[in-house]
Amino acid sequence: MSMISNLMDGVVFVDGDGNVALLNTAAEALLGVKSFMVVGRPLTELSDQGDLLDGVLHDIQGLSDERPSMNRVIEVLHTEQDLLYVRARCARITDCQGKSSGVYCTLQDVTADYKTDQLKNQYLSIVAHELRTPLTGIKTFSTMLVKQALGPLSEQQMRVMESIREQSLRLEHQIDKLINLGHLESEDRYGQDLERFEIHELVTTSLAAFPAVAAEHGIQFHVELSEQDGLIEGDRADLRRAIQAIVENAIKFTPEGGKVEVRVTDVDADHVRFSIRDTGSGIDPRYQRRIFEKFFQVEDPLTRHHGGAGLGLFFARGIIEAHGSELTVESELGKGAHFCFVLPIADRTTNETRAVDATPVETA
Amino acid sequence: MERTVLIVEDEKLIIVSTQMVLEAAGFRVESAVNGEDGIAKAKGIRPALILLDIMMPGIDGWETLTRLKRDPETSDIPVIIFTAREHVRGHQKSTEMGAADYFRKPFEPDELIELVEKHCGQEV
């Protein structure tokens, strides 16, 4: 018992009859109640004694056979201005027959982590702004020149301008990746900025920078869109990040002369499949689950050092799961990999059939 | 008739480059370098559309949007939020606050023209 009472985290036990059985010192401090005031009393009598207690109460009462545990961060107004963030984990305690014999709840003050996270995101957001502003100028001006909107260019001038434009797209992509890092500790933020947008538009804008990257690595890059466009509902920026991470990964592990294909096909009237296939080195079956883990990198002694932080697929999976789908992979060593996910179509639009071969088909 | 787009943006570079894109597509472009100035110009010239930056000195884009939407003189002018910064649920927030759309910088010139055409078209 003294071990529990001295824990840094708050611990609350509720017995099978719904009465508070134990409250340690840390829980007393966080909840603002004294143990002797509440132990032995029914949990339901404790409402209106503070936001955190109400939150925990709500979570405990929400537990059921279908949902035996809860884990979330509760935001509480601590003093006038100060917010406290507490991670509350509640779970049912069951006996060996599976019968519920109470609930335990741990409370962890995560305010410091949250504040550091907020600061970091704020900082990254400012850095991104500072980088994107000059980049907007470079990208816009070079695009205008490439389109010869400001007068004709010589062949050589055109090549130079195209290169400037492509490099600006790459830089933009790198900045977006930097921002992704900022989202690392904010996984529950995925997929929250909902809007409806066209599937084809999502894919083409996501892939804008890749033909140049693939060509540079001597890889063929092919994009094929479904016959009929449609609207999906989701977080456009997040889905774009997910698609880019998967394609980037495919290009990274495909050797010169190989091929990366992105296909968007209709599964049925209400679902669309996104499929990214490469002819790269493939993934060892032992690693096929682990590639979605944070910071995981496959060691590949035979080929180039791949670089990166090991976050791309981790983000991609998180984003796709937040959209109610699953990112799957099929792969055989030496034969490439095939990543796939399916999203529901919110509405059909009437865009005509398009097949875009977005590459210079070069195998260097 | 030539349609006027008002750009409210504190970065000269963005104004110049956006102006170039829109003028090449046949729009007339006016600009304001902060929110207050933007509101005054919106009343004066009654643009077909406003492109509004978020991070600006003085009143920021969100506050500018709120004031534009509250004022009967400007509330009917479509506003596109135009930002280089990450905003948590930025798109949702913009729509809830009355913006017609939300657009990220750097942008593809064609996408910008398409978006501006779309929302100018909706304007009476």
Q: Residue B106: is the preceding peptide bond cis (ω within 30°)?
A: yes
Long-range Cβ contacts of A178-182 (<8 Å, 24+ apart): A178/A124, A178/A127, A178/A128, A179/A124, A179/A125, A179/A128, A179/B86, A180/A241, A180/A245, A180/A311, A180/A315, A181/A124, A181/A309, A181/A311, A182/A120, A182/A121, A182/A124, A182/A125, A182/B86
Distance CA B89, CA A194 (A): 8
Q: How confident is the model at residue B80 (pLDDT cuts 50, 70, 90)?
A: very high
Structure tokens at A52: 């955190």
| β-pair type (A20-23, A10-15) | antiparallel
Is A40 part of the contact surface with chain B (CB cutoff 8 Å)?
no
Question: Between these two residues, A188 and A361, which has the higher pLDDT value?
Answer: A188
Which pLDDT belongs to residue A3?
64
Which pLDDT belongs to residue A263?
95
Q: Is the pLDDT of residue A191 over 60?
A: no
Which pLDDT belongs to residue A274?
96
Place of tokens 């064609």: B110
Q: How confident is the model at residue A352 (pLDDT cuts 50, 70, 90)?
A: very low
CB B33 within 8 A of CB B68: no
Report the CATH fold assignment for A111-189: Helix Hairpins (1.10.287)
Return the closest-CA partner of residue B90 out of B49, B55, B47, B48.
B55
Task: Give the whole-number percent of chain A exceeding pLDDT 70.
Answer: 85
CB A329 within 8 A of CB A283: yes
Return the closest-CA partner of residue A345 out of A230, A196, A243.
A230
Residues of A in contact with B61 (CB under 8 A): none
User: If you average pLDDT over residues A204-227, what whole number do you get?
Assistant: 90
Residues of B in contact with A149 (CB under 8 A): 24
Written out in words, the top-level CATH class of the domain with range A192-364 is alpha beta
Distance CA A140, CA B17 (A): 6
Question: Between these two residues, B27 and A37, which has the higher pLDDT value?
Answer: B27
Q: Which one of A137, A140, A192 has the shortest CB-CB distance to B109?
A: A140
Residues of A in contact with B60 (CB under 8 A): none
Length of chain B: 124
Q: Contact B106/A136, CB-based, under 8 Å?
A: yes
Structure tokens at A92: 């049912």
Q: Is the pLDDT of residue A303 over 60?
A: no
User: If you average pLDDT over residues A26-53, what whole number do you get?
Assistant: 82
List alpha helices for chain A, DSSP H.
Answer: 2-5, 25-31, 35-38, 51-61, 111-146, 155-182, 199-207, 210-216, 236-252, 312-322
Distance between A172 CA and the closest CA of chain B, angstroms? 8
User: If you average pLDDT over residues A273-298, what whole number do you get?
Assistant: 84
Is A205 part of the contact surface with chain B (CB cutoff 8 Å)?
yes
Distance between A276 CA and the closest CA of chain B, angstroms? 24
Q: What phi and psi values does residue A265 have, to the nearest 5 degrees? A: -130, 155
Q: CA distances (Å), A290 to each of A76, A286, A293, A309, A311, in order?
A: 36, 8, 5, 14, 12
**Number of alpha carbons in the 13 Å side-chain half-sphere of residue A241:** 26
Q: Is the pLDDT of residue A160 over 90?
A: yes
Which pLDDT belongs to residue A327?
93
Residues of A in contact with B33 (CB under 8 A): none
Is B4-122 a domain of CATH 3.40.50.2300? Answer: yes
Q: Is the pLDDT of residue A277 over 90?
A: yes
Q: How confident is the model at residue A37 (pLDDT cuts 50, 70, 90)?
A: confident
Q: Is the pLDDT of residue A168 over 60?
A: yes
Q: CA distances (Å), A202 to each of A62, A167, A175, A236, A242, in order?
A: 38, 21, 19, 7, 11
Residues of B in contact with A132 (CB under 8 A): 84-85, 105-106
Mutation for testing the A interface, residue in B9, B86, B91, B114 having most A CBs under 10 Å: B86
Which pLDDT belongs to residue A4?
66
Number of Cβ within 10 Å of residue A308's Cβ equals 14
Give the residue from chain A lying closest to B56, CA to CA: A129
Residues in B whose CB is inside 8 Å of some CB of A read 11, 13-14, 16-18, 20-21, 24, 55, 84-86, 88-92, 95, 104-109, 111
Give the residue from chain B lying closest to A188, CA to CA: B88
ipTM above 0.90, yes or no: no
Question: Between these two residues, A111 and A356, which has the higher pLDDT value?
Answer: A111
Which pLDDT belongs to residue A183?
59
* Average pLDDT along chain B: 90
Q: Contact A137/B13, CB-based, under 8 Å?
A: yes
Residues of A in contact with B88 (CB under 8 A): 189, 192-193
Residues of A in contact with B17 (CB under 8 A): 136-137, 140-141
Q: Contact A132/B14, CB-based, under 8 Å?
A: no
Q: Is the pLDDT of residue A123 over 90?
A: no
Which pLDDT belongs to residue A306?
59
* Average pLDDT along chain A: 82
Question: Between these two residues, A192 and A298, which has the higher pLDDT value?
Answer: A298
Residue extents of the structural domains in chain B: 4-122
Residue extents of the structural domains in chain A: 2-109, 111-189, 192-364
Is A2-109 a domain of CATH 1.10.275.10? Answer: no
